[in-house]
Structure 1
Amino acid sequence: MRAVTYDSYASDNSRLKVGRVPDPKVGPGQVLIEVRAAGVNPVDWKVMTGGLDGMMDAMFPVIPGWDVAGVVRGRGPDTPDFVDGDEVMSYARKDVVGAGTFAQYVAVAADDVARKPASLDWNQAGGLPLVGMTAQRSLDRLEVGQGDVLLIHAASGGVGSLGVQIARDRGARVIGTASEENHEFLRGLGAEPVAYGDGLVERVRELAPDGVTAVADFVGGQLDTTLAVLAEGGRHVSVADNTVDQHGGHWIWVRPSGAKLAELAAMADRGALTVEVAGTYPLEKVGEAFDASRTGHTRGKLVITP
């Protein structure tokens, strides 16, 4: 099959190449997915730099990519969960960095696979798993619900825009930071936008004079602001700052789960959730997608289409 690979860690895209690699083996309890779309996430290029080497082993050459939407084309022994032809999606992170989703095929544990919602096209479904489940896990940990006032840092990004929708569906009021050009987008999702930068604390306090009851940091570097706007007894999480644990918060790291992903699929099919796609790229342009992701200013998801 054709796939994107890199054969060593690198701080840039110099080790990326597209070529032929062996088709994946499909073990017990796994399904083989023909990839139609695979979301790009900052963790993909951060892994390539060796940023997670202290946490996860890598088996070179590495095929990057942890998101996938596609069609089941094979099953391992004792895998009655799906049949060939099923349209599915998955957060396909494995314990070892290696056989990722920027390829024509990927083998994934059936327990980590959910059926693709009919309401989302392939690109939207391919961009949903990691960002959607990260937002979902963050809000689960915060126990966000009716009556909460939630501040989301980086609300117009991939994780943030899903977080807004999930929180609104749970009955929370949402304040979201974003650049001015993305304020109308956030209003369309049901959030009250505020510009980030100098004066952010005051702007949040104008909207929530008594403070916010919860904060979800989806960008990092926001701890001082978070603590300044939290009401007494407020809760906070971050996906990018592991020091929040020292200040009463929680550092979030999402786990693969077909069941949790199916909850997001059900939200999409009842019209409560959609995925903004910022751009699509063939395998040959994964480096361009990584460069776009590195800017940190993408609204919505970048997607690889093998």
Structure 2
Amino acid sequence: MDSRIERSAGGAIVEPKMNAVVLDRFGGVDELSSRRISLPEVGDDDILIRVEFAGVASWDALERAGAYDGAFGVASTFPYVLGWDAAGTVAAVGRDVTQFDVGERVYASTMPVKRGGFYAEYGVVEAEFVARVPDRIPTEQAGAMPWDALTALSGLDLLGLRAGGTLMVFGASGGLGHMAVQLARHRGIRVLAVASGDDGVALARWLGADHIVNGREDDVLAAAFEFAPGGLDAALVTVGGEIAERSIRAVKSSGRIAWPNGVMPAPVTPPSATVSYYDGDVSRAGTDRLNAIIEASSFEVHVARTFPFEEVQDAHRALNDHYVGKLALKVG
């Protein structure tokens, strides 16, 4: 442990080694292996989190394969620990951290390339990207929530719709999409949810979408114009591809389309409406706003499956299967 840590759980010395899922090189699912590695160093502005649940997401598979190698201007080093989302408890805090106490239940976002991710018993992250878990949210849900929920929230901010406005959420039964539906409904926005499969339609309906379309079977463009005859005010696209590109033609020319960076493929032919590519705000400003909404609404994260830590390879294989909501890894 770094000597700058002033407080640790119960005053005890935290073991300098931890169990983690690591990569020794980029590649397929078989490159994921479990072993003990050193705890990450904790700086003055950092929080050490004892991880209970980590999110498993499509970008983890891309990162595992090496798609992000060098993309963030930082050289990749091994052993490499994946995991962008997590929830657990504060194990220790840096010297300059005053707003969190040891033992508090927290969730966090990080970028693994810098100091390792959350597929480990402990993860370190700057306090700016850590938030308390609202009382009404189970830790399992909180662990799978941060990046998708905050990206959805930032997308809605970008679109700037008022109550009564019409919004298409394309990919409404996925991780980002099912959270976007709830956040939009909280604002009084009328939501056309484009979901995947019968189970996706059922989830979107349960979440309160005003109209639901099965993107696998239905004519999304026709349904959109039936929902909003003069054209949709906006769209939030969470899954790219030919159907998405065709569907966003339903957004009127004066409308806006929010397209998170990393959602591929991007449109080949630009629609008449403005397409804005963006990143989610995962800072304290974002988490404060998200937590306020969670406390004031019925927001929840639909976790389709949770895998034991030792079954991380199965979790990554499941990313290629059909599921609705999120996948999670039980670490602690």
1:2 to 16, 19, 23: 19
Question: In the alignment, does 2:291 pair up with 1:265?
Answer: yes
SS in 2 for 1:274: coil
Where does residue 103 of structure 2 map in the other structure?
85
Which one-letter code corresponds to 1:128 in the other structure? Answer: M
Could you tell me which amino acid in structure 2 is paired with residue 78 of structure 1? D
Q: SS state of the match for residue 55, structure 1? A: coil
Aligned to 1:152: 169
Q: Among residues 61, 67, 79, which one is paired with 1:45 in the alignment? A: 61
Of the structure 1 ranges 214-223 and 162-171, higher mean CA displacement relative to structure 2 is found in 214-223
Looking at structure 1, the residues matched to 134 and 56 of structure 2 have their Cα atoms a distance apart, in angstroms, of: 20
> Which has the higher mean CA deviation after the structures are superposed, 108-117 or 143-152?
143-152
CA RMSD of aligned residues (A): 1.8
TM-score of the two chains, using structure 1 as the length reference: 0.93
Mapped pair 1:64 → 2:74: no
1:124 matched to 2:149? The reply is: no
| Partner residue in 2 for 1:236 | 257
Q: Give the unaligned 5+ runs of structure 2.
A: 1-17
Question: How far off is 1:255 after superposition?
Answer: 4.1
Q: For residues 43 and 269 of structure 2, what CA distance do their matches in structure 1 show?
A: 41
Q: Distance in 1 between matches of 2:312 and 2:64?
A: 12
* TM-aligned CA deviation for residue 246 of structure 1: 8.0
Deviations 1:33-77 (A, max 9, x none): 000111111111111111122512322211110101111111112
Deviates more, 1:102-111 or 1:246-255: 246-255
The answer as to whether partners of 2:240 and 2:266 remain within 8 angstroms in 1 is no
Aligned pair partner of 1:194 in 195, 207, 213: 213
Instruction: Give the structure with higher Rg (CA).
Output: 2
CA 245–55 in structure 1, closer or farther in 2 if over 3 Å, else same: farther
Q: Judging changes above 3 Å, is the alpha-carbon distance between structure 1 residues 261 and 242 closer, same or farther for their aligned structure 2 residues?
A: farther
Instruction: Quote the residue 1:298 is aligned against.
Output: 323
Higher relative contact order (CA 8 A, sep 6+): 1
Partner of 2:6: none
- State the shift of 1:245 in Å: 10
Q: How many percent of aligned residue pairs carry the same amino acid?
A: 33
- For residue 43 of structure 2, the aligned residue among 27, 30, 39 is 27
Q: How many residues align?
A: 303
Distance in structure 2 (CA, Å) of the matches to 1:150 and 1:169:
13
**Whole-Å separation in 2 of the counterparts to 1:245 and 1:91:** 31
Displacement of 1:242 in angstroms is 6.8
